[in-house]
């Protein structure tokens, strides 16, 4: 059976998250329903990461096996046709070796988070950013973020229902930039690691917002990390500013299929 990798973007608002759930609308479930129209006995897909309800993606990756030898462009076009009008789009499709696994072959995942500080309600970006009312201190937030870099026990920053075997993870990047927007400032967080714990990124951002607002000193992030206690975490931020933007593999499966 030929194997394909697909790159997916989606708006997370209508979904309970990536993972298939009985009688609930998920991104995985919608794509598998579309695949079932193309091949009745299709076995399903495997994604690179399980985004939570409300989280978006511009670079989610999944792999799937087909009984028919599809031309990648035609497969992506067929899927996009049957996914309408749901806010899910297959933006690239490529034939891959049978050894490729969207989750286990991945060497790195990158998330971005958008936070806007302004008093007036957002309109065009509603549901796509987290909005706070007061400006934040970028330098203080970056100072706090720097304590999180490297390999640590991230018990403080993972959900109490996280199913990972270990809280130990290596955080390779947590960088923050800012730029002016109408009526305020947008802060962009880039978070990069091989893998993440449940709610880890949202716990980071909510905690760093406390630092940026002046409620916490940057050094308190180090204290929270060292506590290895979920109760030491700051607020877990809402999901709608979070995007899975890139999944890295030893060899880019889409490199020869740009634009299909």
* Confidence (pLDDT) at 259: 44
Q: Detail the DSSP E strand segments found in the chain.
A: 3-10, 45-47, 56-65, 88-96, 108-118, 130-132, 150-153, 168-181, 184-193, 242-248
Average confidence (pLDDT) over 62-66: 97
Average confidence (pLDDT) over 38-63: 94
Residue 41 lies in a domain: yes
pTM (global) more than 0.85: yes
* Confidence (pLDDT) at 257: 56
Residues 67 and 142 in one domain: no
CATH code at position 55: 3.30.70.580
Domain count, the chain: 2
Q: Catalytic annotation on 52?
A: yes
CB within 8 Å of 81: residues ≥ 6 apart: none
Of 81, 105, 129, which one is at a domain's C-terminal end?
105
Reported as a single tens digit per residue, the pLDDT across 224-237 is: 999 999 999 999 99
Residues 168 and 58 in one domain: no
- Contact indicator for 64, 100 with CB cutoff of 8 Å: no
Reported as a single tens digit per residue, the pLDDT across 180-206 is: 999 999 999 999 999 999 999 999 999
Residue 260 confidence class, pLDDT cut points 50, 70, 90: very low
Q: Using the 8-state DSSP alphabet, how is residue 107 labeled?
A: -
Q: Which of 52, 69, 97, 153 is catalytic?
A: 52
Average confidence (pLDDT) over 156-164: 94
Residues 124 and 221 in one domain: yes
């Amino acid at each position: 059976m030929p194997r394909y990798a697909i790159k997916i973007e989606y708006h997370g608002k209508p979904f309970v998250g990536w993972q298939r759930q009985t009688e609930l609308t998920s991104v995985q479930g919608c794509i598998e329903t579309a695949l079932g129209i193309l091949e009745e006995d299709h076995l399903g897909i495997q994604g690179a990461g399980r985004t939570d309800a409300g989280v978006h993606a511009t670079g989610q990756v999944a792999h799937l096996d087909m009984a028919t030898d599809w031309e990648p462009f035609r497969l992506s076009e067929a899927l996009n046709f049957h996914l309408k009008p749901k806010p899910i789009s297959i933006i690239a499709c490529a034939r891959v070796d049978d050894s490729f696994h969207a989750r286990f072959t991945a060497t790195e995942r990158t998330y971005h988070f958008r936070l806007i500080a302004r008093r007036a309600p957002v309109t065009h970006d509603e549901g796509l950013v987290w909005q706070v009312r007061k400006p934040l201190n970028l330098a203080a937030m970056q100072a706090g973020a720097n304590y999180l870099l490297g390999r640590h026990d991230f018990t403080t920053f993972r959900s109490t229902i996280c199913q990972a075997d270990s809280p130990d993870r290596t955080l390779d990047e947590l960088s923050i930039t800012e730029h002016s927007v109408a009526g305020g400032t947008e802060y962009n967080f880039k978070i990069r690691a091989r893998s993440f714990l449940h709610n880890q990124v949202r716990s980071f951002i909510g905690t760093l917002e406390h630092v940026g607002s002046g409620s916490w000193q940057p050094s308190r992030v180090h204290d929270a990390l060292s506590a290895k206690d979920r109760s030491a975490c700051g607020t877990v931020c809402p999901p709608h500013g979070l995007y899975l933007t890139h999944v890295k593999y030893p060899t880019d499966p889409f490199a020869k299929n740009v634009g299909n």
